[in-house]
Amino acid sequence: MPHVKPGSLNDVNAIGNRKVGTRGLGNWYSTGTEISWGNQVAQQILRSARLVNDPVVSEYVNRIGQNIVRNSDAKVPFTIKVIDTDEVNAFALPGGYFFVNSGLILEADNEAELAGVMAHEIAHVAAHHQAREMTRMHYADLGMVPLVMATGYSLAGYGIYEASAVAVPLGMLQFQRDFEEQADWLGIQYMYKAGYDPTQLTQFFIKIEALQKTKPHLIAKTFSTHPQTPERVKRTEKEIATILPPLPQYVVDTSEFHAVQQRLRRIENRRPVSSGPTMRRVTEAPPAAPATPSSSDDDARPKLQAPHLLP
């Protein structure tokens, strides 16, 4: 393994103690502001979306997510809900509001694939990508800075995308390519730190590429802007091989994952799932722990952008 600078973004032993997208020239906005953005959109989603309220499914997905949060650089508590929709997708809002589609759970082959997608979304929050996107946007027009700092903005004037029966502003649907690459990289670190096989995220990339051809109606439209290309898979595989020290065993799958799939199918009146995939080097998933909350402040709220959908 190559030498890794202690405390750098390549140092998985420093996860939780690294400065990932914190305030500065690249991020003008505070954690409190991000929480305000996310809360506004989350409340809209909770009013309009059909949620899966089954306690077994909800507790399982929350436990997977909270375990990854605990092994990430995120500094906000996460609230995780499951949306009842066939669309294969997940999105995390600034401030830790996280929505996972039931279609994603049903299309995943194993628990590590689901964990990988969730880790990617948690990485966007941990790295403050939404605040950094907003900062970049306003660098292009520095004359807007006093207005940004002094006033709040509404959703007025933004295009709306209908996703999972939820109307969300277009501005938060995609991130720039370098942020997507960073979310891939941080995501595999977080799932690795949580005990999962990081190669399963690349397996899911390959799956999405195939689904775009065979079941395009199930794939979020925003995937087209950040396709699961062979180059993306190769880059992620190289990062896994060169930075992450191999572990003697990983979590790949659990019987609980397939039991939750079965339960979801019954809830949605779907055909029973066939036999699950062959498992390799399976261990029991580590217990979850709540994320560490952070303080917030009363910074002015900039023009709201809304949920990123999994690239």
Parts of the chain with a pLDDT under 70: 1-2, 23-25, 138-175, 215-229, 270-311
Given this model, what pLDDT does residue 141 score?
Answer: 52
Given this model, what pLDDT does residue 282 score?
Answer: 43
User: H/E/C letters for each residue in the chain?
Assistant: CCCCCCCCCCCHHHCCCCCCCCCECCECCCHHHHHHHHHHHHHHHHHHCCECCCHHHHHHHHHHHHHHHHCCCCCCCCEEEEECCCCECEEEECCCEEEEEHHHHHHCCCHHHHHHHHHHHHHHHHCCHHHHHHHHHHHCCHHHHHHHHHCCCCCCCCCEEEECCEEEEHHHCCCCHHHHHHHHHHHHHHHHHCCECCHHHHHHHHHHHHHHHHCHHHECHHHHHCCCCHHHHHHHHHHHHHHCCCCCCCECCCHHHHHHHHHHHHHCCCCCCCCCCCCCCCCCCCCCCCCCCCCCCCCCCCCCCCCCCCC
* Lookup: tokens for 117: 């997608």
Report how far residue 5's alpha carbon sits from residue 33's, in angstroms, rounded to the nearest whole number: 32
Summarised one tens digit per residue, pLDDT across range 253-272 is 999 999 999 999 999 875 44
* Lookup: tokens for 249: 């065993």
Predicted structure pTM score:
0.76
State residue 100 phi and psi, 5-degree precision: -115, 125
